[in-house]
Amino acid sequence: MENLQSALRDVVINAGNGDPEAQEIISKVEREARREQFLKENYLKWNEEGMELRARRLKHNMSLNYVAEKLGTSASRIGRLEKGLPVSQAKHLIASYNLLFDYIELRKDLKAFYSDHNLKWGL
């Protein structure tokens, strides 16, 4: 532990002296710290959104693989989204996910309407 602290102290000193390698190390550490803070701040929101998406999928008895195929992505990416873990292009994926289920629910409602009014369903 002492060796690590000593090495970090040297990096900070060298960065202050204009050493580009040391400055790059400091920059990477700062970026990682900001990323970790961002993840920590957003985890609860992402987890809640993910649980809502999962509940919607399960309500329609659909598998991760089916949803992933319809959205053109992998089941593991959908699984990560539903668990509240970070995924690339999350906002777009959530919007697509919701559009898929809006379509499924609308189609179901239209079928019921047609059936209730003795109309022929042609879609």
Q: Provide mean pLDDT across the span 88-108.
A: 94
pLDDT of residue 4: 58
The count of domains in the chain is: 1
Of 122, 3, 105, give the one whose Cα is nearest residue 57. Answer: 105
Instruction: Please identify which residue in the block is written with the tokens 């292009």.
Output: 89
CATH number of the structural domain spanning residue 24: 1.10.260.40
C-alpha dist (Å) from residue 106 to 32, 67, 92, 118: 43, 17, 21, 18
The torsion angles phi and psi of 118, rounded to 5 degrees, stand at 50, 45
Task: Give dist(CA 80, CA 47) in Å, integer.
Answer: 10
What would the pLDDT profile of 47-79 be if each residue is shown by its tens digit?
999 999 999 999 999 999 999 999 999 999 999
Residue 89 included in any domain: yes
pLDDT of residue 51: 96
Domain housing 112: 2-116
Task: Give dist(CA 34, CA 28) in Å, integer.
Answer: 10
Whole-number CA gyration radius for the chain:
24
Would you place residue 2 in the very low, low, confident or very high pLDDT band (cuts 50, 70, 90)? low
